[in-house]
Chains A and B, each alone.
Chain A
Amino acid sequence: MCNYQRREQIAVNSDWAVEASGLVKTFGTNRAVDGVDLKVPTGSIYGVLGPNGAGKTTTIRMLATLLRADEGSARIFGYDVAKDAQIVRQLIGVTGQYASVDESLSATENLVIFSRLLGLGRLEAKRKAADLLEEFGLTEAAKRPLKNFSGGMRRRLDLAASLIAQPPLIFLDEPTTGLDPRTRNQMWETIRRLVKEGSTVLLTTQYLQEADELADRIAVIDHGRVVAEGTVNELKASVGTSSLYLGIKNLQDILAARQIVERVLNVGSSASTEAGKIIAPMADAVRVTDLLIALRGAGIQLAELSVQKPTLDEVFLTITGHGVQDDASKASDESEKEGVVRG
């Protein structure tokens, strides 16, 4: 049995960067992580999406050998995080939610020390540090103590430190929380580039937009459990079909227009009279042509026509039964404040 498993692990070595099953972590009476299963394909960006306190960070810490799981098991490229911890550490880079760099040292000193710890020689370490600083646009700040670094610079340095050993798997715990939009976009670019170079990235986020933008696959996590998993499109589709939005030019036409919509599309619709908008679920895209022809025949003029896929917001609401909006917006408020103080 054991042998068989072992062989199977090696066989799947290259397919799955992360395989976790039934991970549980309890803090006191709080089951922070309550049976999480994750499968991250090699070479992809995988997003773990959830509100504050959903168990994202705890999950990452268990996968990164920083925390021992109470139950369940996890393998990184086929290596068990508990038994082969030291091997796993050679394959991962971890960038924590709070910058895991040395505040009292300079950027260069930080990177040199991490490089030396990873077995680089004195000169090699210096060169590596200089290269990474240049790559992340930190050369000018290289000698300054980190105390004077902005939040964005700290994050970049943190990520640079995770990349010294060029690990095939990178954990990013809320990499853009508290960053301004420009810095956030830079971070996104960097993440995409890493994957292009062959890394696998597992990132957590509480921003739906970020998961939408970056991740190939997403796991939605809530109260320590994975409540949904799939590609962004699959998740959106699971909520329902796209909606058709029609803006009517003359408000008095709206009733007639609704009738036509309901007759042609054979669905119920809703309308907001003040805005002159009709919203109808769009099950069959081909029928929209018929609808437009019918509307023109009836002499009803359209101001606007759009099709909207369900947003991840709606996905989240449908799956978890509660909104992520409050938590997320609160958190972004906080991080904005933080940014101002730090800035």
Chain B
Amino acid sequence: MKSTSITPVADRQLRNKTSFSQTVSNSLTMAYRGLLKIRRTPEQLFDVTLQPIIFTLMFTYIFGGAISGNVQNYLPVIIPGILVQTVITTSIVTGVQLREDMDKGVFDRFKSLPIARIAPLSGALLADTIRYTIATVLTFTMGYIMGYRPDGGLGHVAIAGLLVIVCAWSISWIFAFFGVIARTASSVQGISMIVLFPLTFLSNAFVPAETLPNWLQWFVKINPISHLVTAVRDLSNSGTIGWDLTISLIGAAIIVAIFAPLTVRAYMRRT
């Protein structure tokens, strides 16, 4: 047994501020913790593995004939749509898991450590990008198996995937906020679904906006999800980068700018 003596308080270098580099390093460590947890409990990944497979199959064969005449013609429409819908739905889990995590004793320790206050949040959110990546790859793979051959080429498909992951990460801040303020994990799930369902379905993800009644078209066209879906379609189907991509990224930035500070403040207050 080692006998190390404690450094007296007077000899310690103490700082009351957390530097930016420490914040980044703390967040990365917390993300590493998130990855370890996924590795320990792989069943956490059921939703991101099964949902892309089941939804892609289901929606394509159900709506394909009705909307585009046949399944083959529907694939370029539905794959980007289902990709956005699946990945963004996945981001709800971030909030739910955050709530569950915060109820555990280990969060007390995180709070008592001299680390960046935001690290447990940003780390959890960062680790969840692995989930979005899995969902993205699986959706495109399912599409490929079903005969989808995006004209944009692999490079543009990769950019499209990245765009969806970035946007899902931004949106996950909304659910993280619910996660922090809600009392139970199931209520996080509930609130998040109510927000997300109208957003994903009242968009051009599954049907062309032109087929909708006028008043609904108005909403569908301003819905940021529609812009994201269009941006992904442009990228993967024709390899073009349009205005929609810019709007999606601006929207994502606005969400982070609003919800990241809100979430962190609520998180700090809640003890």
Residues of A that sit less than 8 Å from B by CB: 13-14, 61, 64-68, 77, 79, 83-87, 89-94, 96, 98-105, 109, 113-114, 116-119, 131, 135, 145, 161, 166-168, 197-199
Cα separation A99 to B105 with both chains bound (whole Å):
6
Q: A87-B15, A104-B40 are in contact. List 12 more A-B contacts (CB 8 A).
A: A65-B111, A66-B271, A85-B16, A93-B112, A101-B106, A102-B106, A103-B104, A105-B36, A113-B32, A113-B33, A197-B5, A198-B5
Q: Which chain A residue lies CB-closest to B106?
A: A102
Question: Total interface residues on B, using CB and 8 Å?
Answer: 41
Give the distance to chain B from A69, nearest Cβ to Cβ, in Å. 11
Cα separation A83 to B8 with both chains bound (whole Å):
21
B4 touches A197 (CB 8 A): yes
Residues of B close to A113: CB separation below 8 A: 29, 32-33, 36
Given contacts A13-B9, A90-B114, A168-B8, contact A117 B29 (CB under 8 A): yes
Q: Which chain A residue lies CB-closest to B7?
A: A166
Give the distance to chain A from B33, nearest Cβ to Cβ, in Å. 5
Kindly state whether residue B26 has any CB partner on chain A within 8 Å: yes
Instruction: Determine which of A100, A114, A167 lies in contact with B108 in the assembled complex, contact meaning CB atoms within 8 Å.
Output: A100
Give the distance to chain B from A294, nearest Cβ to Cβ, in Å. 54
Given contacts A86-B15, A89-B114, A91-B14, contact A104 B8 (CB under 8 A): no
29 contacts between A and B (CB under 8 A): A13-B10, A68-B271, A77-B9, A86-B16, A86-B17, A87-B14, A89-B112, A91-B9, A91-B14, A94-B109, A96-B109, A98-B105, A100-B106, A100-B109, A101-B105, A102-B104, A102-B106, A103-B104, A105-B37, A113-B32, A113-B36, A116-B25, A116-B32, A117-B113, A118-B115, A166-B7, A168-B7, A197-B6, A198-B8
A197 touches B271 (CB 8 A): no
Residues of A close to B106: CB separation below 8 A: 100-103
A104 touches B37 (CB 8 A): yes
Residues of A close to B107: CB separation below 8 A: 100
Cα separation A29 to B8 with both chains bound (whole Å):
41
Give the distance to chain B from A211, nearest Cβ to Cβ, in Å. 23
Give the distance to chain B from A276, nearest Cβ to Cβ, in Å. 50
Cα separation A79 to B12 with both chains bound (whole Å):
13
Given contacts A87-B15, A100-B108, A105-B36, contact A114 B10 (CB under 8 A): no
Residues of A close to B40: CB separation below 8 A: 104-105, 145
Residues of B that sit less than 8 Å from A by CB: 1-10, 12, 14-18, 22, 25-26, 29-30, 32-33, 36-37, 40-41, 104-115, 119, 271
Give the distance to chain B from A119, nearest Cβ to Cβ, in Å. 7
Q: Which chain B residue lies CB-closest to A169?
A: B9
Give the distance to chain B from A9, nearest Cβ to Cβ, in Å. 12
Cα separation A310 to B67 with both chains bound (whole Å):
88
Give the distance to chain B from A192, nearest Cβ to Cβ, in Å. 13
Kindly name the residue among B30, B33, B109 whose own CB sees the greatest number of chain A CB atoms within 10 A.
B109
Cα separation A77 to B10 with both chains bound (whole Å):
9
Given contacts A14-B10, A104-B40, A199-B6, contact A86 B114 (CB under 8 A): yes
Given contacts A98-B105, A197-B3, A197-B5, contact A91 B112 (CB under 8 A): no
B5 touches A102 (CB 8 A): no
Residues of B close to A145: CB separation below 8 A: 40
Residues of B close to A197: CB separation below 8 A: 3-6
Cα separation A83 to B3 with both chains bound (whole Å):
34
Q: Which chain B residue lies CB-closest to A10?
A: B10
Instruction: Determine which of A14, A86, A100, A104 lies in contact with B18 in the assembled complex, contact meaning CB atoms within 8 Å.
Output: A86
Give the distance to chain B from A84, nearest Cβ to Cβ, in Å. 5
Kindly name the residue among B3, B29, B112 whose own CB sees the greatest number of chain A CB atoms within 10 A.
B112
Closest 10 CB pairs of A and B: A198-B6, A89-B114, A100-B109, A100-B105, A94-B112, A116-B29, A90-B114, A77-B9, A87-B14, A100-B108
Residues of A close to B10: CB separation below 8 A: 13-14
A114 touches B109 (CB 8 A): yes
Cα separation A161 to B36 with both chains bound (whole Å):
18
B108 touches A66 (CB 8 A): yes
Give the distance to chain B from A301, nearest Cβ to Cβ, in Å. 52
Residues of A close to B18: CB separation below 8 A: 86
Residues of B close to A13: CB separation below 8 A: 9-10
Give the distance to chain B from A150, nearest Cβ to Cβ, in Å. 16
Residues of A close to B110: CB separation below 8 A: 117
Residues of A close to B22: CB separation below 8 A: 119
Residues of B close to A101: CB separation below 8 A: 105-106, 109
Cα separation A64 to B187 with both chains bound (whole Å):
30
Given contacts A104-B37, A114-B113, A119-B22, contact A91 B108 (CB under 8 A): no
Q: Which chain B residue lies CB-closest to A166?
A: B6
Given contacts A14-B8, A90-B12, A197-B3, contact A64 B114 (CB under 8 A): no
A90 touches B33 (CB 8 A): no
Cα separation A79 to B106 with both chains bound (whole Å):
25
Residues of A close to B7: CB separation below 8 A: 166, 168
Cα separation A183 to B111 with both chains bound (whole Å):
28
Instruction: Determine which of B12, B33, B41 lies in contact with A91 in the assembled complex, contact meaning CB atoms within 8 Å.
Output: B12
